[in-house]
Amino acid sequence: MRIGTRGSALALAQSEHVRASLPGAPRDHRLVVIKTTGDLQPNASLSRIGGKGVFTKEIEEALLRNEIDLAVHSLKDLPTEERPGLMLGALLTREDPRDALVSRDGLPFERMRSGTTIGTSSLRRRSQVLAHRPDLRVEDMRGNVPTRLARLEDGRLDAIIVAAAGLIRLKLIDRATQIMEETVMLPAPGQGVLAIQIRAGDDAASAAIARLSDARATAEATAERALLEGLGGGCLVPVGARARAGEGSLELSAYVGHPDGRPSLRMNASGPIGKPADLGRSLAAAMIAQGARSILDEVRSMERFP
């Protein structure tokens, strides 16, 4: 199998995990590194690059051209609209979906000094930081995980927030000062889930990855992505979501906020585990009724932020 992947340390670690999990020996499969729009503009703000699929489009195009047999994505980077000719073949067991704070002085979020500077490229993280701590400063920061850690170490920032799953997969979780509680910061929809994308109708690829799919991760991610789609959001809007699969049921929490932290809206809902998309869509509708659409419309109207 030819496995399409981005070339960052994290993307390669994730794709190596998939390669080792495929039938046969790992040497029977090879990684094909593909640069995406997000990779080609490493210093530009994601909100300024704009558009959907900044980390996935070129990989999807290679899959459609039959240059690769499957693609490995961080699900949170993948647009909710399925690209014609492609399909999600498997969602793997979820790693910790929460965000992690790494601070130079070792202080947790609640005890950070007023004026502390936190780096993140995510409007979702920015919004929730400022919703809880408007006295902190948030600066836009791009780059892969090692680059972000290096910027923290050289003193340009006091702290950074990254996905805990990325630190875990890179064996860097010991660098985390604190795993952010979801009462403070909800993760991106699908965060912590690896997605394997294949061509529709490719029976060989489908069979090769069938046993890798995880039912719990699939139910949770389906609810979260249905919520995002129902809100009309994309990968870059300040929307957080976390579904938790229980015995026959799903609990879904969601957040929508302005990048300044206000206004913001947080709501919860529950439903049967067998209908995760219905749960996501119904919670999205409830949030729109409470003002979520106006918040997101204002965010989308901005040419760039900050």
Spatial CB neighbours of 159, under 8 Å, sequence gap ≥ 6? 101, 102, 103, 104, 112, 116, 117, 118, 119, 152, 177
Residue 120 near residue 138, CB atoms below 8 Å: yes
CA neighbor of 212 nearest in space, from 23, 59, 79: 23
Catalytic residue among 28, 39, 69, 77: 77
Residue 225 near residue 100, CB atoms below 8 Å: no
For 83, other C-beta atoms within 10 Å of its C-beta total 17
- State the DSSP string of 89-131: EEEPPPPP-SEEEEETT---GGGPPTT-EEE-S-HHHHHHHHH
What percent helix, strand, coil does the chain show, rounded to 5? 40, 20, 40
Sheet holding 239-245, edge to edge: 239-245, 249-257, 264-272
Looking at the DSSP bridge assignments, the partners of residue 253 are: 242, 268
Phi, psi of 129 (to 5 degrees): -60, -50
What's the rounded Cα separation, in Å, for the pair 20 and 16?
A: 6
60 three-class SS: helix
77 catalytic? Reply is yes
What's the rounded Cα separation, in Å, for the pair 188 and 286?
A: 19
Q: Copy the structure tokens of residue 153.
A: 């170490």
User: How does strand 2-5 pair with strand 70-74?
Assistant: parallel
Which of the residues are catalytic?
Answer: 77
